[in-house]
Amino acid sequence: MNLLTNLINGIGLGSVYAIIALGYTMVYGIAKMLNFAHGDVIMVGAYMCFCATTYLNLPVPAAILIAMVVCTVLGVLIEGLAYKPLRRAGSLAVLITAIGVSYFLQNMALLIWGSAPKTFTSVVPFGAVSLFGGELIISWETIITVLANIVIMIGLALFTKMSRTGKAMRAVSEDKDAAELMGINVNKTISITFAIGSALAAIAGVLLCSSYPVLMPTTGSMPGIKAFTAAVFGGIGSIPGAMLGGLLLGIIEIFAKSYISTQLSDAIVFGVLIVVLLVKPTGLLGKKIAEKV
Amino acid sequence: MARKKKISSFAVNNIKCYGLVILAFLVLMPLQSAGVLNNSVSGQLVPICAYVVMAISLNLTVGYLGELSLGHAGFMSVGAFTGVITAVALSQSVAAPELRLLVSIIVGGLFAGVAGLIIGIPVLRLKGDYLAIVTLAFGEIIKNIINCLYVGIDASGLHFSMKNTNELNLDAAGKVILNGPQGAVGITKIATFGAAILLILFALFIVLNLVHSKTGRAVSAIRDNRIAAESVGIGVTRYKLTAFIISAMLAGMAGALYAQNFSTVAAQKFDFNLSILILVFVVLGGMRNIFGSIIATAILYMLPELLRGIADYRMLIYAIILIAVMLLTNNMKVRAFIDTAMANIKGKLAGRKGGNS
**Listed range (A70-79, A273-282, B64-73, B275-284) with the worst mean pLDDT:** A273-282
Inter-residue contact A97 to A83 (CB < 8 Å): yes
Distance CA B96, CA B281 (A): 34
Residue of chain B minimizing CA distance to A264: B144
Q: Label residue B112 exposed, middle or buried (CB < 10 Å: 0-12, 13-18, 19+).
A: buried
For residue A183, CA distances in Å to A178, A186, A187, A195, A196 come to: 9, 9, 12, 21, 22
Cβ atoms within 10 Å of B128's Cβ, excluding its own: 11
Pick the residue with more confidence: B2 or B295?
Answer: B295
Please state, in angstroms and rounded to a whole number, the distance separating the CA atoms of residues B273 and B258: 17
pLDDT reported for residue A292: 54
pLDDT at A48 over 50: yes
Q: What is the mean pLDDT of residues B45-69?
A: 91
Are B140 and A101 an interchain contact pair (Cβ–Cβ within 8 Å)? no
Mean pLDDT comparison of A80-84, B52-56, B118-122, B149-153, highest-scoring range: B52-56
CB-CB under 8 Å, A277 with B327: no
Instruction: Closest CB to B137: pick one of A92, A96, A273.
Output: A273
Report pLDDT for B104: 94
Supply φ then ψ for residue B220, to 5 degrees.
Answer: -65, -40
Q: How far is B7 from chain A (nearest CA, A)?
A: 32
Q: Indicate the SS3 state at residue B184.
A: strand
Chain A hits for B320, CB-CB cut-off 8 Å, are: 100, 104
Cα(B107)–Cα(B86) distance, rounded to whole angstroms? Answer: 7
Task: Report helix angle A2-31 to A140-162, nearest 10.
Answer: 30
Each residue's pLDDT tens digit, B119-147: 888 888 877 777 888 888 899 899 989 98
Question: Does residue A67 contact residue A93 with C-beta atoms inside 8 Å?
Answer: no
Q: Does B92 touch chain A (CB under 8 A)?
A: no
> Distance (Å, rounded) from C-alpha B165 to C-alpha B178?
9
B279·A96 Cβ contact <8 A: yes
> Residue A288: is its pLDDT beyond 70?
no
Question: B26 at the A interface (CB within 8 A)?
Answer: no
CB contacts, 8 Å: B280 with chain A: 96, 99
CB-CB under 8 Å, B133 with A228: yes
**Do the Cβ atoms of B130 and A282 come within 8 Å?**
yes
Interface probe, candidates B141, B225, B328, B335, chain A, greatest A C-beta count within 10 A: B141
User: What single-letter DSSP state applies at residue A289?
Assistant: P
CA angle A155, A156, A157 (to 5 degrees): 95
Average pLDDT estimate for A208-223: 86
Q: Which residue of B has its CA nearest to A265?
A: B144
In this prediction, residues A64-80 reach a mean pLDDT of 93
Q: Using beta carbons and an 8 Å cutoff, which residues of A are at the interface with B?
A: 28, 34, 82, 85-86, 89, 92-93, 95-97, 99-101, 103-104, 107-108, 110-111, 225, 228-229, 232, 236, 261, 263-264, 266-267, 270-271, 273-274, 277-278, 281-283, 291, 293
The pLDDT of B315-336, averaged and rounded, is: 80
Q: How far is CA B218 from CA B58, B124, B236, in A?
A: 18, 16, 8
Q: In the predicted model, what is the mean pLDDT of chain B?
A: 85
Which residues, 6+ apart, have CB-to-CB distance to A191 below 8 Å? Answer: A76, A79, A80
- Taking CA–CA distances from A114, the nearest residue in chain B reads B312
Judge: A107–B129 Cβ closer than 8 Å, yes or no.
no
CB-closest option in A86, A236, A270 to B137: A270
Contact B138, B147 (CB under 8 A): no
Report pLDDT for B310: 67
Mean pLDDT over the full length of chain A: 86
Length of chain A (residues): 293
CA distance B208 to chain A (A): 23
Query: Closest partner residue to B322 among A103, A225, A236, by Cβ?
Result: A103
Tell how many helices (H) and how many strands (E) occur in chain A: 11, 4
Contact A263 B312 (CB under 8 A): no
Residue of A nearest to B141 (CA): A267
Among the partner-chain residues A261, A267, A281, the one whose CB lies closest to the CB of B130 is A281
How would residue B187 be classed by pLDDT, with cut points 50, 70 and 90? confident
Indicate if the pLDDT at residue B209 is higher than 70.
Answer: yes
Distance from CA of A13 to the nearest CA of B (A): 19
Nearest to B316 among A107, A228, A236 (CB): A107
H or E segment at A228?
helix A221-234
CB B112 within 8 A of CB B249: yes
CATH fold, domain B9-270, is ABC transporter involved in vitamin B12 uptake, BtuC (1.10.3470)
Considering only A159-163, A165-169, B39-43, B142-146, which range has the smallest mean pLDDT?
B39-43
Range ranked top by mean pLDDT from A49-63, A108-122, A245-259: A245-259
Cα–Cα distance for residue pair B70/B263, rounded to 1 Å: 27
Contacts of A281 in chain B (CB under 8 A): 125-127, 130
Q: Residue A126 in contact with residue A137, Cβ under 8 Å? A: no
Which secondary structure element, helix H or strand E, spans residue A261, and what is its range? none
pLDDT tops 70 at residue B1: no
Facing residue for A89 by CB, picked from B127, B141, B330: B330
Kindly list the residues from chain B whose CB atom is less than 8 angstroms away from the CB atom of residue A277: 126, 130, 133-134
| Chain B residues closer than 8 Å to A283 by CB | 130
pLDDT attached to residue A73: 95
Q: Band the pLDDT of B357: cuts 50, 70, 90.
A: very low
- pLDDT, average across residues A221-241: 85
Residue A95 pLDDT: 83
Give the distance from residue A185's alpha carbon to the nearest chain B alpha carbon, in angstroms.
Answer: 22
pLDDT tens-place string over residues B305-316 = 777 666 677 778
Contact (CB<8Å) B140/A108:
no
Residue in A with minimal Cα distance to B278: A96
Q: pLDDT tens digits, residue range B249-264?
A: 999 999 999 999 988 8
List the domain boundaries for chain A.
18-224
Size of interface A-B (CB pairs under 8 A): 113
**Cα three-residue angle B257-B258-B264, rounded to 5 degrees:** 120
Question: Above 90 in pLDDT, residue B78?
Answer: yes
Sorted by where each begins, the domain ranges of chain B are 9-270
Q: B283, A96: Cβ pair inside 8 Å?
A: yes
For residue A213, the model assigns a pLDDT of: 82
Q: Which residue of A has its CA nearest to B321?
A: A100
pLDDT of residue B56: 94
Give residue B246's identity as a one-letter amino acid code.
I
- Residue A1: the pLDDT is 66
Chain A residues with CB-CB distance to B58 below 8 A = none
